[in-house]
Amino acid sequence: MTIMNVKVTFWRALFVVIMVVGIYSTFVRYFQGLGAVSNMNDQFPWGLWIGFDCLCGIMLAAGGFCITGAVYIFHVDRLHCIVRPTILTAFLGYCLFIVGLLFDLGRPWYIWHQLIYMNPHSVMFEVGMCVMTYTTVLFLEFIPNVLERFGLKAPIRWVKKIYPVLVVLGILLSTLHQSSLGSLFLIFPEKMHPFWYTPAQPFFFFLSAIACGLAMTIFESTLSARAFGRGLERSVITELAGALWVVLGVIALLRLQDYLHRRVNIFQPSYEAYFLWAELLLAFVIPISMLSFKKVRTHPELTYIAALSTILGFVTNRLNVAMTSMETWVGHHYLPKWTEVSITLMICAMGFFLFSLAVNYLPIFEDEHHDLPVAELAETPEQLQQPTLVH
Amino acid sequence: MSKAILYDATLCIGCKQCESACAQQNELPYDDKIAAESVQSDHKFTVVLTNDDKFMRRLCQHCDHPACASVCPVGALHKTAAGPVVYDVYKCIGCRYCMMACAFSVPKYEWGSLNPRVRKCIMCPDRVEQGLATACATICPTGATKFGDHDALIEEAKDRLKQNPDNYVHHIYGLEEVGGTSVLMLSAVPFEQYGLPKLQRVGDVPLPEYTGRVMELMPDFIPLWGLVLGGVYWVTNRRKEVEEVEAEERALRGGK
C-alpha cells in the first residue's frame, strides 16, 4: 500500500502513531503543565524523563567517546569503519537528551541560566556544563559528514587539525559527566535503598556507560546492517563483543565487591530485590555467560542478543537507581503516566528517524574517502605498507 | 549573629495561628479547607500536625549546610548570613533537584503551573532583616514557636530538657541532624511519628559533603586525566610514525 508515493510499512505506520500521540502529549505538557502530563508529584519530583531520557539517554550515547578513544587515542585501527555511525549515534543521543530536558525542566526557557548563575558546588551544574560542551564537541566531530556532502574541503581541513584535541576533550568531558550522573545520587543517602546507594556510584555509572557504549555500537551496527542492507563488519563485532565481555566482567566483580564491602545481602527476597535480580540477570548473567563462548562472539545475531540484554540490564539499573530505590522511603510506588511514556517514545522514535535520515543523505557508511579527517588520522595498515611499492 | 526558631511541641495548643500568619506573610490563600490539610504543599509552607492531644509543626528546617542550596545548578537557593534559606525564583530553571536532595522533603512544586516555582518556608527574610521575629513566632500565643539567636536558643532547649526531663523525648531535633539546622524542635512524642527522619537515618554529616568529596577531586582529576590521554595519544602516534619510517627504510634496503 502506498500513500502519496510513500510506501506504508509497519515501522513507518508505528512511527506516525507514536509521533501523533507524542505531539498530543507535548501540547498537554506545555499548555497544562507538568502535573497534568506526568505522574510526578512532590514525593516523586523526578520520574521517567530523568530516569530514562536523561540517565539512560546519556549512557546509551557513550559509544561516541569509547570508539573515538579506542581509534584515535589507542590506535585500534580495526574499529575505524564504525567511527562515523557511532559519532552520529552519540550526537543524536545528546541532542535528544536536550530535547528530553526541555520537557522535564519546569522552566525550560531559562535553561541558559546555567551559563550566568553558576553554582560550582552543584553536581548538576557540572553535568550541565559538560553536556553542553560535549554536545559542541560531538557536533564538530560530526560536521565533516555534512561538509563532505557539500564538497567543502577547507573547513574539513580545519576540523582535521583540531581532531585529536576534540577526541581528548570528548573523553575528558565524558568521564566527568558520565560519572557525575552517578554523583547526583550521592547527596540523599537516607532516601535510597542500600542496593543502589553506594559511594562508588560515580565509578559504576562511568563503567556502565562504557559497557553500554560498546553494546549500543554492536546493536546499532547490526540494526543498520539489516536496515540499510550493508555488509556487517563481522570481525569488528567480534572484537567489540570481546571488549564488552571484559568490561562486563570487571563491573560484575566490582559490584559484587561493593555489596560485600557494605555487607548488603542481595539474596534476601524483597520488592527491591526482584528489581535488582532482573537488573543483574540482564546486565551480567545473560551477556557474560553468552559472550564466554567464542561461537557467540563470532555469530553476529547471538552477539546482538547479548548486547541487547546488556542494554536492557543497564537501563533497568538506572531506572532502579532513579525510581525503585526511592519507593520505600516515599511509601508508595511511582508509575509513569501514559502521556509521560508517549513523550519518551516520541523522543526515541525521533532518534531512529534522524539516524536513518542521516544515513540516507550523508556519507556515514562511506568511509573510504581519504581527504577526510577521520580517514586520514588513522591510516589503515594497507596504507602503511605503501612505501614497499617503491622498489 | 545567626537567627533560629525553637519550636516546643509541649507548649503548642494546635491553634494553627502560625499557619494563617504564614499564609498572610507569603500571600497564600488560607481558609478552613486549607487549614484542614495536613501536608506541606505549594500553598502551605508550614503545617501543624495533630496526634491525639499532641502537636508538631513542620516547616523548612533551614539547615546550616543546606543540601538544596548545594545541589541547585543555578544557585537559586542560598542560606543568608542571618540563617534563612531563601529562594530566588528568577534564577530557577525547574530541575527539582532541591526537592530530591532535601532530607526533610520540604521544597514543594507548583505542578499545575505553566511557569512553576519551588515553594517552601523562607523564614520571613524581610522581617528577619529588619530585626523582627518571623510571622509564626510573632503570632504564637503560647511561645511554642520562639524566634531568637541560634546559640541562645540551643542553650535554652538544653535547659528545658534539663529542667523537665520527663516532659520530653530526650532529643533536640535539629541540633545534629544533617550537621545542624536553624529550626530546633522539642517534643514529648518521638519525632519520626510526625515523618521527621531519625538522626540515625539522616546522620550528623552535612549532606553537601557526600557530593563535595567527589567534586573536590575535579580540579586535580581534569588536568591529570587530560595529560594521560594526551600522553597515550602521543605515544601511539609516535609509534605509528616510527613504524612508518622503519617500513620505508626496510623498503629502501630491499625488504631486509
pLDDT tens-place string over residues A101-124: 999 999 999 999 999 999 999 999
What is the distance between the alpha carbons of residues A353 and A15, in angstroms, rounded to a whole number? 8
Which range has the worst mean pLDDT, A122-131, A270-279, A322-331, A360-369? A360-369
DSSP lists the bridge partners of residue B14 as none
Instruction: Indicate if the pLDDT at residue A136 is higher than 90.
Output: yes
What was the ipTM of the complex prediction?
A: 0.90
- Are B96 and A45 an interchain contact pair (Cβ–Cβ within 8 Å)? yes
- 3-class secondary-structure state, position B152: helix
Which range has the worst mean pLDDT, A2-11, A181-190, B35-44, B178-187? A2-11
Share of chain A above pLDDT 90, in %: 70
Identity of residue B226: G
- 3-class secondary-structure state, position B133: coil
Q: Supply B245's cell numbers.
A: 619510517
Please give, rounded to a whole number of angstroms, the shortest distance from the CA of A208 to a CA of chain B. 18
One DSSP character per residue, B71-99 reads: H-TT--EEE-TTS-EEE-TTT-----HHH
Per-residue model confidence as pLDDT tens digits over A281-307: 999 999 999 999 999 998 888 999 999
Q: For residue B7, which phi and psi values (nearest 5 degrees)?
A: -110, 120
What is the distance between the alpha carbons of residues A253 and A258, in angstroms, rounded to a whole number? 9
**Helix (H) / strand (E) containing A22:** helix A10-32
- Are A391 and B236 an interchain contact pair (Cβ–Cβ within 8 Å)? no
Q: Which residue has the cell 550528623?
A: B204
Question: Which residues touch A310 (CB under 8 Å, ≥6 apart)?
Answer: A211, A212, A215, A244, A248, A282, A283, A287
Q: Supply A359's cell numbers.
A: 544515513
What is the distance between the alpha carbons of residues A64 and A170, in angstroms, rounded to a whole number? 8
Return contacts of B22-25, CB within 8 angstroms, 24+ apart. Answer: B22/B46, B22/B59, B22/B121, B22/B135, B22/B136, B24/B135, B25/B124, B25/B127, B25/B134, B25/B135
- Are A388 and B208 an interchain contact pair (Cβ–Cβ within 8 Å)? no
Return contacts of A258-263, CB within 8 angstroms, 24+ apart. Answer: A258/A198, A258/A200, A258/A204, A262/A194, A262/A198
Contacts of A122 in chain B (CB under 8 A): 70-73, 75, 97
Q: Looking at the partner chain, which of B218, B236, B243 has a beta carbon nearest the beta carbon of A384?
A: B243
Identity of residue B103: A
How many CA atoms within 13 Å lie on the side-chain side of A260? 6
Q: How much is the average pLDDT of A236-249?
A: 94
> What pLDDT, on the 0 to 100 scale, is given for residue A386?
37
Please give, rounded to a whole number of angstroms, the shortest distance from the CA of B163 to a CA of chain A. 33
Contacts of A55 in chain B (CB under 8 A): none
- Mean pLDDT, rounded, of chain B: 92
Alpha-carbon distances, residue B212 vs A10, A188, B79 (angstroms)? 50, 13, 17
Contacts of B76 in chain A (CB under 8 A): 117
Confidence of residue A366 (pLDDT cuts 50, 70, 90): low
Chain B interface test: which of A180, A187, A191 (most B C-beta within 10 Å): A187
Q: How much is the average pLDDT of B206-225?
A: 92
- Mean pLDDT, rounded, of chain A: 88
Confidence of residue A363 (pLDDT cuts 50, 70, 90): confident
Q: Supply A259's cell numbers.
A: 555489596
Instruction: Indicate if the pLDDT at residue B161 is higher than 70.
Output: yes
Q: How much is the average pLDDT of A150-179?
A: 90
